[in-house]
C-alpha cells in the first residue's frame, strides 16, 4: 500500500454481477481506525444475527427458508474480512 491508495477488486459472484473495486485511499491513523471500527461493527452484526438464528424458531416454508439469513451472515463476515485484509501490511 502506498500514500496514494490501493485498489482491491472484488470477485463477482454471478454472471450478471458487475465488477466492483474497493479503494483504501487514505493511510492515516484516523482512517485506519474507522475501517477497523467498521469491520468490528459488521462482525458484531454477524454474531448477533447468528445468535438470533440459534435461539429463535424459524418457521420453514421450504428447505431454503433460512438461506437469506445465512447469506446476510456471509456478506457481513466477508465484508469485515475484506476491510481487515485491506488494512494489513503488504508482504
DSSP 5-30: -EEEEEPPSSTTPPPEEEEE---SHH
Q: What is the pLDDT of residues 45-74, one digit of tens each?
A: 999 999 988 888 777 788 777 788 888 888
What mean pLDDT do residues 24-35 have?
77
Please check whether residue 21 is in contact with residue 7, taking contact to mean a CB–CB distance below 8 angstroms.
yes
Task: Give the Å distances, CA to CA, from 51 to 6, 39, 47, 57, 82.
Answer: 35, 18, 6, 12, 22
Q: How confident is the model at residue 5 (pLDDT cuts 50, 70, 90)?
A: very low
pLDDT (tens digit per residue) in 76-90 = 888 888 888 777 765
CA gap 14, 17 in Å, rounded: 5
Amino acid at each position: 500500500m502506498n500514500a496514494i491508495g490501493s485498489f482491491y477488486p472484488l470477485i463477482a459472484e454471478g454472471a450478471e454481477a458487475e465488477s466492483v473495486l474497493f479503494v483504501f485511499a487514505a493511510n492515516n491513523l484516523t482512517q485506519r481506525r474507522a475501517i477497523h471500527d467498521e469491520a468490528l461493527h459488521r462482525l458484531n452484526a454477524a454474531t448477533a444475527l447468528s445468535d438470533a438464528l440459534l435461539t429463535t424458531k424459524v418457521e420453514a416454508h421450504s428447505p431454503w427458508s433460512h438461506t437469506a439469513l445465512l447469506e446476510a451472515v456471509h456478506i457481513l463476515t466477508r465484508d469485515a474480512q475484506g476491510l481487515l485484509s485491506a488494512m494489513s501490511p503488504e508482504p
